[in-house]
A = this chain, B = another copy of it.
């Protein structure tokens, strides 16, 4: 990474979020200055035994820590802010700019991790511009997404403006009345955008993602039909959805008991900041809710993805200390399962039904919409920004390819588009984009004790598949057994009696010792 002394060059290094949905982390580097854009986490897949959190490989930032001028945050989802507390343990980020809700959620995380003193959190407003170092000025542009207070970014660099879509859909009837600032986006398009980096999550989905408002009549119908208790689960971070559910609770004269730490946390912040408006007396503690008639209760919980420890999962297993399903309960899943969670979700639904709940779920109900743009919205953003160069981000490989095909159909030449992987170094000059190398990439797995390395993970996997036999044998210096060896089996399938297996192992050791020392 020697300093480029010829053509001025902007480097963009996505360390996470490419070829995956999760842990979005992007580095912008110009003239020995680094600007960090988002730093998220991902959740472990089933084969990452005992792992709580997945982070990108941060070697590059550790090694270039002195260049870091600061960070900008697009919105408050875990896949965009969840990594920051971990990274601050390893290097400093002098200042972090972001929207109010994201900064409020981040403050909690940093406080919990004891990292709040390590940086300076600054809230920004729509169309606010902030300077970072000599090279970067960033304008925050309101967009629409499933969480309130979400932004596109216009990053002014010495080479020109790089726009980053953030996570977005184009919702013309947003729940909070905060419209996508399309005028500002168009203004940048008119003045000239050097490069666009854009969310590819739903690039494979034809048409337009329905407005968040479209779920209101459908949830209203479900609420009307519920005769007993009502339990609703959704993503805690889907602030607009939570808002809708609370408004409908009020309309249908149900008191709301909120269950699950992240749900309580998001609602508290969103109310404090005015993203959710409802009277205090809409809420009741869970214990008080139980004294109300069934048709005046609404329990709002986490667990829409069948997460093992979430409230709805424990309720479905009959393991929740306060909430037992009864005949007549209506349970509403106002969320679609993320592909890796499908089995966990349908199992949860089945368990709830078996206990007598009427479970409302699935795409046909119209009670969930995505927070990400579909193809027609992508075309619109490309048309508004008219970028010279294009980098599809925030998506798996198929989605990036589809997004790039759309951009080509709208006139961006294929040589002006790069499909990159985590760790690729994108080099941008005024008239060329290319991948100019690789920095260490991959994942860091975090369990309760710290970072789990790949070799450790492989050992865990092997023990899980085969089990483990330990043999303790005390030997004299001449190689004779001093005592009968101890054999222990864990997770081992035995087709013969354990006692016989043990004897067999002992005899083998004895033979080995005899031969070795004889």
Show the binding face of A for B, using Cβ within 8 Å.
Answer: 19, 45-47, 49-50, 204, 206, 339-340, 342-343, 346, 349-350, 353-354, 359, 362, 364, 396-398, 401, 447, 449-452, 456-457, 459-461, 463-468, 470, 472-474, 482-483, 490-495
- Residues of chain B lying within 8 A (CB to CB) of residue A449: 493-495
Given contacts A350-B398, A450-B495, contact A464 B461 (CB under 8 A): yes
Q: Select which of B342, B447, B482, B490 is within 8 A of A482 by beta carbon.
A: B482
CB–CB B463/A490 < 8 A: yes
Q: List 5 A-B contacts (CB under 8 A).
A: A49-B491, A350-B396, A449-B494, A450-B494, A452-B493
Q: A50-B467, A206-B364 are in contact. List 16 more A-B contacts (CB 8 A).
A: A45-B343, A49-B465, A50-B465, A339-B343, A450-B495, A456-B493, A459-B467, A459-B490, A459-B491, A460-B467, A461-B464, A463-B463, A468-B490, A470-B470, A474-B482, A482-B482
Q: How long is the Cα–Cα vector from A456 to B492 in the complex, in angstroms? A: 6
Residue of B nearest to A354 (CB): B397
Q: How long is the Cα–Cα vector from A449 to B350 in the complex, in angstroms? A: 33
Q: How long is the Cα–Cα vector from A343 to B398 in the complex, in angstroms? A: 13
Separation in Å of the A367 CB from the closest CB of chain B?
Answer: 16
Say whether chain A's binding surface is mostly helix, strand, loop, or mixed: mixed
- Residues of chain B lying within 8 A (CB to CB) of residue A346: 339, 396, 398
Q: How long is the Cα–Cα vector from A464 to B467 in the complex, in angstroms? A: 10
- Residues of chain B lying within 8 A (CB to CB) of residue A473: 472
CB–CB B463/A491 < 8 A: yes
Residue of B nearest to A483 (CB): B474
Separation in Å of the A358 CB from the closest CB of chain B?
Answer: 10
9 shortest A-B CB distances, which residue pairs?
Answer: A474-B474, A50-B465, A464-B464, A460-B491, A49-B464, A350-B397, A459-B491, A46-B46, A449-B493
Copy number in the complex reads 2
CB–CB A447/B493 < 8 A: yes
- Residues of chain B lying within 8 A (CB to CB) of residue A466: 50
Q: How long is the Cα–Cα vector from A470 to B487 in the complex, in angstroms? A: 12
Separation in Å of the A50 CB from the closest CB of chain B?
Answer: 4
Residue of B nearest to A340 (CB): B343
CB–CB A464/B50 < 8 A: yes
Q: How long is the Cα–Cα vector from A494 to B447 in the complex, in angstroms? A: 11
Q: How long is the Cα–Cα vector from A457 to B492 in the complex, in angstroms? A: 9
Separation in Å of the A327 CB from the closest CB of chain B?
Answer: 14
- Residues of chain B lying within 8 A (CB to CB) of residue A362: 204
Residue of B nearest to A465 (CB): B50
Q: Select which of B353, B468, B474 is within 8 A of A468 by beta carbon.
A: B468
Residue of B nearest to A458 (CB): B491
CB–CB A401/B474 < 8 A: no
- Residues of chain B lying within 8 A (CB to CB) of residue A490: 459-460, 463, 468
Separation in Å of the A359 CB from the closest CB of chain B?
Answer: 8
Q: How long is the Cα–Cα vector from A463 to B488 in the complex, in angstroms? A: 14
- Residues of chain B lying within 8 A (CB to CB) of residue A339: 342-343, 346
Given contacts A460-B465, A467-B459, A482-B474, contact A398 B493 (CB under 8 A): no
Q: How long is the Cα–Cα vector from A490 to B457 in the complex, in angstroms? A: 9
Separation in Å of the A226 CB from the closest CB of chain B?
Answer: 17
- Residues of chain B lying within 8 A (CB to CB) of residue A494: 449-450
CB–CB A463/B465 < 8 A: no
- Residues of chain B lying within 8 A (CB to CB) of residue A482: 474, 482
CB–CB A350/B19 < 8 A: yes
Q: Select which of B46, B451, B483, B495 is within 8 A of A493 by beta carbon.
A: B451
CB–CB B493/A450 < 8 A: yes
Q: Select which of B19, B46, B447, B483 is within 8 A of A47 by beta carbon.
A: B46
- Residues of chain B lying within 8 A (CB to CB) of residue A49: 464-465, 491
Q: Select which of B354, B456, B483 is within 8 A of A467 by beta carbon.
A: B456
Q: How long is the Cα–Cα vector from A467 to B445 in the complex, in angstroms? A: 15
Q: How long is the Cα–Cα vector from A50 to B492 in the complex, in angstroms? A: 10
Separation in Å of the A463 CB from the closest CB of chain B?
Answer: 4
Q: How long is the Cα–Cα vector from A339 to B362 in the complex, in angstroms? A: 14
- Residues of chain B lying within 8 A (CB to CB) of residue A50: 464-467
Residue of B nearest to A447 (CB): B493
